[in-house]
Amino acid sequence: MKLSRFTRWSIIVLSNLRRVFLHCQHLVGFGFYTTSLDWAALGAKARNFLVSIPPGVRFLDWKGPKLGCNFSLIIKRICQSLIALRCSLVELRTPLPSVSFPKLTHFYLPVGPGVSGVLCDWQMPALTHLYVSGVMNNSVIAVIIRSRVTLRCVVREHGATPELIVQIPKVTPNLEEFTYHLRDGMELFWKSVRTHSSLQDIVVVIQHFISRGIYQAPSVSALCTHLQPLTKAHFPKLRGVTIVGLKIHSLHTQKRAPLDAILDAWNTFGIEAKFYDP
């Protein structure tokens, strides 16, 4: 089979990487980024660079859509030492085996096709920070539930239903920081949560949506209904709420009145409100 120029260069690069790794026995971390490698065409010699990665790696940023079971090999090799892991565009041809990450505290997971297989049997008993991007599913909720006692910070981007998002503060009793996207239909979110004894900082990102061909966001009235349950009585450690994507200074005085009442109440009890419009 005739190999393309790109594939031939890839074989050379990966073979050189293998030799480099052999001289990096105290490697702390690395990133690997590719969007087009086809491992089946590279040959065993080039693919062997994965098993030359020294044990003890603590930080890994892995991006590539055609990594197949090779991703399993690297995870099994360094799972005992990893502290922070970001993996994206992972394509799994076979499910990963059960893996334990005893030291992993930070996990970035862009959820997408095939990624639920990554989460199938991963145990992360020390996980404190979880960043989830993309469509959230029951596999992600399972990770959160397994790490519910240790989780301190969850950043949840767009793409999840309110029914799934509301589970996060409900099942994580020691959560301190929570970032999420506010979408239509989440007015009663915090009323449903009712109370949380450790939550300190909340970031609400206003999620815009298209309705009847018009680009819009949840109304100020809906936002106020959403925020009103956040009081010191029910969230005793709450110290700050940041709202992203609201042009507060451009709001009409009459529309601002209910929001100002909430902000005044927060200020009385030492809850700082911040607004950021990117």
Instruction: Indicate whether 17 belongs to any domain.
Output: no
Do 147 and 28 reside in the same domain of the chain? Answer: yes
pLDDT at 147 over 80: yes
pLDDT at residue 115 is higher than 60: no
Closest Cα partner for 188 from 216, 156, 173, 166? 166
Task: Say if residue 125 is in the same domain as residue 39.
Answer: yes
34 pLDDT higher than 50: yes
Q: Is residue 11 part of a domain?
A: no
- Residue type present at position 139: S
Percent of the chain with pLDDT over 90: 39
Q: Which residues of 168-181 are buried (b: 16+ CB within 10 A; e: fewer)?
A: bbeebeebbbbbbb
* Together in a domain, 121 and 177: no
Please calculate the CA angle 110-104-114 and round it to the nearest 5 degrees: 30
How much is the pLDDT for 240?
97
Rounded to whole angstroms, how far apart are CA atoms 123 and 97? Answer: 11
- The residue out of 89, 121, 151 marking a domain boundary is 151
* Lowest mean per-residue pLDDT among 159-168, 212-221, 227-236: 212-221
In a domain? residue 252: yes
- Do 187 and 233 belong to one domain? yes
Residues in contact with 187: Cβ distance below 8 Å, sequence separation at least 6, in sequence order: 218, 222, 225, 226
The reply to whether 37 and 146 lie within a common domain is: yes
Per the structure, the count of domains in the chain is 2
**Confidence (pTM):** 0.84
**129 falls within a domain:** yes
In this predicted structure, what is the pLDDT of residue 69?
Answer: 46
Q: Which domain holds residue 119?
A: 24-151
Pairing of strands 122-123, 99-100: parallel
Q: How many CB atoms lie within 10 A of CB 44?
A: 7
Reported as a single tens digit per residue, the pLDDT across 68-80 is 446 667 788 889 9
